[in-house]
Amino acid sequence: MKDYNDFFDEMIDVDDEAEVEGEELLDEEGEYEGDEDEDEEDDDLAAVVRTAVLRKNDLLALLSLKATPEGGQIVRYDPRQRLPSMQRYETEEEALRWFARSLATSRRNGWAVVYDGAPLVG
On the CB side of 51, how many CA atoms lie within 13 Å of its CA?
10
List, in sequence order, every residue forming a beta bridge with 117; answer none if it has no partner: 51
Tell me the pLDDT band of 17, cut-offs 50, 70 and 90.
very low
The pLDDT tens digits for 25-66 are 455 555 555 545 554 455 556 888 999 999 999 999 999 999
**pLDDT given at position 120:** 73
pTM over cut 0.75: no
DSSP label of 30: S
Q: Cβ atoms within 10 A of the Cβ of 72, count?
A: 25
**pLDDT given at position 46:** 83
Q: How far apart are CA 62 and CA 84, in angstroms?
A: 9
